[in-house]
Amino acid sequence: MTDRAGFVGRLGGVFEHSPWIAERAFDTGRIAEPLAAGPVHAALCQAFRAASRDERLGVLRAHPDLAGKLAIAGGLTADSKSEQAGAGLDRLTPAEHARFTDLNSRYMERFGFPFIIAVKGLTKDDILAAFETRIGNDVDTEFATACAEVEKIAGFRIASIVPEA
C-alpha cells in the first residue's frame, strides 16, 4: 500500500509547487492500489477543485510565464522546462520572445496570474494564437480556463509517472 509520504513524494509536483493537493487527495482515503493514472488524476483534480479560490489562485501563480524570465535563467521545474521545450519555446526568435514578453506582461496585469496552457502537442504559433484570444476573456472565464489547463497539465504529468490501469 502506498503511504502518504510516498504518494506525495511521487505526485506532489504534478500541480506546480503545490504538494498540498496530493496530500488532500490522499487524505480522502480514495487512493486505491494499484495506482492508475485516470483515478489518480480524478482524485487530484477533485482536491484542486475543492480548494478555495485563493488556494487555486496560488496554484495558478506558482506557474512560470511561458518563455519568461525563469526559462531564460534556467529556473523552471524539470517538468516545465521539458514541456516548454517540447513546444519550441526554448528556440524563439528575438521577435517571438519580445511578443511573448509583451503578452505575458499584459496578461499578468489583466488577470493577476500567468498565462497557463497545456503546451503538449502545441506549437509556439498555437500557443500565441491562444494567448491572443484568451487575453480578451473576462476574469472569471479566464480563471476557469486557466484552472482547466492546470488540470490538463497535471494529467500529462501523472501519465508520465503512473501507468494507466
| Residues forming the active site | 63
Q: Please count the other Cβ atoms lying within 10 Å of the Cβ belonging to residue 98.
A: 11
Closest CA to 146 of 120, 107, 100, 109: 107
Q: Which of left, alpha, beta for 67 (phi over 0: left; psi -120 to 50: alpha)?
A: left
- Residue 121 in contact with residue 70, Cβ under 8 Å? no
DSSP type of residue 162: S
Separation of alpha carbons 96 and 68, rounded Å: 12
